[in-house]
Amino acid sequence: MIERIAIVGTGLLGTSAGLALRAAGFGGTIAGWNRSPEQAQTALHLGALDSIATDPLQMARESQLVLLATPVHAILDWMEQLAAVLGPDHLITDVGSTKAQITAASGRLFNQPDRAAFLPGHPMAGKERGGAALADAELFRGAVWMFTEDPAWNRSPSSAELVSNWRDWVAAIGAKVIDIAPARHDELVAWVSHLPQFVATGLSALLEDQVGDAPELKHVGGRGLREMTRLGASPYSMWRDIAYTNTEAVQAALFALEQRLAHIRENLRTPELRAEFDKANQFRKE
């Protein structure tokens, strides 16, 4: 049973996880560490943590579960460091947005009988802005939480038990677990998460060029425009690692949308436009 959790990265997701675990009745200890101490202080004040660590590797050693809640490149760095100090009584899991590289590193560095377990995870939850101050105990309720572990991994019995227990906690905080292969995960999120983000960024940047000098006209578009550009507020720091670690799938999705928009542009006065609307209607039909 997991009784000592360490959260590395107490931003929006890490702090929300702490709050959600508390709300779901987790009675053990939660320690946290963040590169910028202010975020850890905010997480502590919100009740997501019991303590702030000064030495993250020491914190990890003293825990049973380490939750890595940083951008993807930082997760990969932490994996290298933690592999050297943790053993078969530990589980590490993460909330990274792309899973191919992390899952490959998991097989290489962990998930063998004499090593710690690593369970690659990705909750489909977030906000257009990050930070501990926006954390929410309900952030994961109803959200899909994907795991991309390899069924062939051969873990120690104690770490395998921690994996099973963590899956129960993820369900307890209201998320819907889906197991999926890492390559399929990265392709899927390119379509349903990364493409919408980069479209919102491109649309917002384009509109800033077009009407940015006339703030009163920004309001003309109403709710539709607000929704289509809300993700435009997402900072580069949240998306840089995604662009780097899922480049090909994102490129394919963007290219497909460029072609689709060109098709619409060339058919504004032909029956093809009706076919596009009908297909879009189909996507939204439940």
Q: Show contacts with a second copy in window 160-189 (CB under 8 A).
A: 176, 178, 188-189
Binding letters toward a second copy, positions 197-216, x by CB under 8 A: xxxxxxxxxxxxxxxx---x
> What are phi and psi for residue 53, nearest 5 degrees?
-90, 150
Question: Of these, 1, 84, 152, 268, which contacts a second copy (CB under 8 A)?
Answer: 268
Buried b (16+ CB within 10 A) or exposed e, 127-150: beebbbebbebebbeeeebbbbbe
Q: Is 272 in the site for a second copy (CB under 8 A)?
A: no
Which residue in 126, 123, 118 sits closest to 174, CA to CA? 123
Q: Is 218 in the site for a second copy (CB under 8 A)?
A: yes
Rounded to whole angstroms, the Cα distance separating 136 from 255 reads: 35
The stretch near a second copy (CB under 8 A) out of 91-99, 150-158, 161-169, 223-231 is 223-231
Rounded to whole angstroms, the Cα distance separating 149 from 146 reads: 10
The tokens of 141 are what? 């309720």
The stretch near a second copy (CB under 8 A) out of 10-18, 65-73, 159-167, 221-229 is 221-229
Residues numbered 87-146 forming contacts with a second copy, rule: CB under 8 A: 124-126, 128, 143-144, 146
Residues numbered 53-92 forming contacts with a second copy, rule: CB under 8 A: none
Give the pairing type, strands 4-8 and 65-68: parallel
Least distance (Å) from a second copy to the CB of residue 236? 4
Q: Is 45 in the site for a second copy (CB under 8 A)?
A: no
Q: Give CA 227 to chain center in angstroms.
A: 21
Least distance (Å) from a second copy to the CB of residue 63? 29
> What are phi and psi for residue 170, nearest 5 degrees?
-60, -40
Least distance (Å) from a second copy to the CB of residue 165? 24
How many C-beta neighbours within 10 Å does residue 266 have?
11
Least distance (Å) from a second copy to the CB of residue 204? 4
Considering beta carbons, is residue 85 or 280 the nearer one to a second copy? 280
Considering beta carbons, is residue 108 or 230 the nearer one to a second copy? 230
Buried b (16+ CB within 10 A) or exposed e, 19-48: bbbbebebeeebbbbbeeeebbbbbbebeb
Residues numbered 229-248 forming contacts with a second copy, rule: CB under 8 A: 229-236, 239-240, 243-244, 247
